[in-house]
A and B are shown apart, each in its own frame.
Chain A
Amino acid sequence: MNWTAKGMVKWSMAEIATWEHALLDMVKAQEAGLASLSPRLRAVRQNAVHCFSQMGFPARQDEAWRWTDLSPLREPAAATTKPPAEPEKMDGPFAGLDAWRMVFMNGELQTDASDLPPGVRALSLRSALQQDATLADQLGDCTGSAFLALNTALLNDGAYIRIAPDIQASKPLHLVFFNTGSAQIRNLIVLEPRASATLLESHYGPAGAEYFVNSVSDVQLGSHARLAHYRDQAESQNALHFYYLNIRQNAHTHYDGFTLTRGARLSRLETHAEIAGSAAQCNLNGVSILNGSQHGDMTCVMNHLAPASNSRQMYRSVLNGESRGIFQGLIRVAKPAQRTDAKLQIKAILLSPRAVQNSKPELEIFADDVKCAHGASVGQLDEAALFYLRARGIEAAQARALLTAAFLGDAVAQIQGSDALPAEQIQQNIQDAIDSCLAQTMVTENV
């Protein structure tokens, strides 16, 4: 295997060899356990092993990774799988909602969704691949991302969701990912033309557990399909969480996404949205609350390929302690994508002098009739507002929490909801989760 590809400079040969061995061992171990693996899937995985070997993990010389150091992956714990325990009780913004729920432990399905109506399929990806071997072909492309390649090489299980044409899923589908050890999770979400669905994801693990989770979700929206997709990343404070989200939208589709990032020691949400049809709407919003030595990376490529589509992105972050937030957002408007209307706004507040935010909004525009706007700011809480609240008897920590929640609320207010999950309800649930997270974060605030 050739490990000398560019971008690998910072990894020593021994470290790479460790990963290579671990990877091949894992692939082999799974092969044995997956006797029914189709030749198609086997080919896809082998190709991915090759892809990964060619790329290796990115180093910071790589522009897309300049602010995120992957050295925590060098630690052996990250590459080993720990035996699963029972899933812990879940809390967070989606816990109390009436939903079709699938529970995964370390990426393997534990509990199926029950009582699914006709037209709504939600099953483990492993079962889906057994039923239809051709699905493997949709999982094969792993160019451009080592994490995508790694995920595909070790492709094992995840969720497969398919909504038939014209079907409106009447309840949210809730994917619960409980992690105690390392996992590669793969989800495939397909909405056929004019279908609509609400997809929720909870990612969490036992407090303090060390693990490495690498998830990939492929979202495909047929024309006029609508997906509301909300994520709560509340992994253990020692976890490494990587998530590669691939969205492909056809004409007249509507995607409304929101991610609450509050867990993991090192996390990266890398979103690639490809707007391939006209008159589509893509909303990607998010809130990050980072504390201690957490590192949270949001990287997003919004790719407008077709005319007259809109994209809206609003991100709000609050950073405390020595945490570090990264936002890299690229809006690309291809030549045929005339009359594109794209907005990207990133705002961060630093609560501690040692917290750092790096924001890099970028535009690449090849069409000549477009409306594109981007902006980024990093600041502190308004001292005058803080004093006003304190002068009314509100304790400093609570006053800061109130102001911070209000600041983050701008992004929460963008959530559009769906027929199955009204905006007011999901906004309230997420705001409540933010408030309780802030109550903990603010305790350690140093004035």
Chain B
Amino acid sequence: MLEIKNLHVSASGQEILRGIDLVVNAGEVHAIMGPNGSGKSTLSYILAGRPGYEITQGSIRYFGEDLTAMQPEMRAAKGIFLGFQYPVEIPGVATMTFLKHAINAQRKTRGEDELDAMGVMKLVQREAGKLKISADMLKRPVNTGFSGGEKKRYEILQMAVLQPRLAVLDETDSGLDVDALRLVGDGVTALRAPDRAMIVITHYQRLLDHIVPDFVHVLAKGRIQRSGGKELAHELDREGYGEVVNG
């Protein structure tokens, strides 16, 4: 599904990723762990197509196509979903309006019929219930006045209604208490599917108790330093990044 080769990325003239190689197949869950400033968020932005980053070397292929040539909205339409570490508050844009636009933009690109307001509402309410997102929250403007935990649950709600093929979750656990973490973890786990892959970016192992990865990669200094199975996450939790990165 996703093939990243020797990826080098700079932002504002500074090299952040220095040669990433990663292959993600359908049905797999990959965890990317690493200390602060290791380039984890940059990798997520590069996959989603955020402006401001320059790919200086290497390639990213998604279902065989050159991902880097696509606009962010095209990537989304082709099934890439970024769960933001810091979801953006957009006052003045109603949540339901936003979701209707998002769902239909993707359906349109894929040549599917657009959903009407009722259809969108039904779809959203079904998923909102599972994530304990209240009707009141859906009435508010996008992310506006949401707590940290609400914002993250709302990201997962979007993932659930948009049904991506590749979900990149950037520090979805940050700012969550234990209960919210379980809710989000269960929400994500429920979305695991044979035709869907996930890249879960996290600083801590605790999220991976809820979303059990198939592979764990340690990203530091702009490179993947080690890869392994889920037990690597426990090792990191025990030993700290220092041991793994330097030792």
Contacts and interface: CB of A to CB of B under 8 A. Distances in A.
A23 B224 CA distance: 80
A392 B102 contact: yes
Given A392-B98, A395-B105, A398-B101, A387 B93 contact: no
B200 interface: no
Interface in A372-411: 382-385, 387-396, 398-399, 402-403, 405-407, 409-410
B105 A383 contact: no
Interface string B100-143: 01100110010000000000000000000000000000000110
B62 interface: no
B51 A391 contact: no
Interface string B75-88: 11100001010011
A44 to B, nearest CB: 47
B15 interface: no
Given A392-B105, A393-B106, A394-B102, A387 B72 contact: yes
Interface in B25-82: 48-51, 71-73, 75-77, 82
Nearest to A447: B51
B93 A394 contact: no
**Chain A at the B interface: SS class:** helix
Given A383-B51, A387-B50, A403-B93, A392 B88 contact: no
Contact of A402 (B77, B84, B88, B93): B93
B1 to A, nearest CB: 18
Contacts of A406: 90-93, 141
Given A384-B88, A402-B93, A407-B92, A395 B73 contact: yes
A383 B51 CA distance: 9
Q: Which of B51, B91, B93 has the most CB of A within 10 A?
A: B93
Interface string A18-29: 000000000000
Nearest to B91: A406
Contacts of A405: 92
A386 B49 CA distance: 12
Given A393-B162, A398-B101, A406-B93, A388 B71 contact: no
A409 B87 contact: no
Contacts of A409: 92
Contacts of A407: 92
B158 interface: yes
Contact of A385 (B77, B90, B101): B90
A388 B73 contact: no
A403 B101 contact: no
Contacts of A392: 76, 98, 101-102, 105, 158, 162
Contacts of B82: 391
Contacts of B84: 388, 391
B73 A402 contact: no
Nearest to B89: A385
A88 B225 CA distance: 70
Nearest to A395: B73
Contact of A394 (B48, B73, B75): B73
A396 B92 contact: no
Contacts of A387: 48, 50-51, 72, 88
Nearest to B72: A390
A391 B78 CA distance: 11
B88 A393 contact: no
Contacts of A394: 73, 101-102, 105
A399 B106 CA distance: 13
B48 to A, nearest CB: 5
A257 B134 CA distance: 37
Nearest to B86: A384
A387 B51 CA distance: 8
B161 to A, nearest CB: 10
A390 B73 contact: yes
Contacts of B77: 393
A242 to B, nearest CB: 32
B127 to A, nearest CB: 15
A77 B122 CA distance: 58
B146 to A, nearest CB: 13
18 contacts: A388-B87, A388-B90, A389-B102, A390-B72, A391-B48, A391-B82, A392-B76, A393-B77, A393-B105, A394-B102, A395-B105, A399-B73, A402-B97, A402-B98, A403-B93, A406-B91, A406-B92, A407-B92
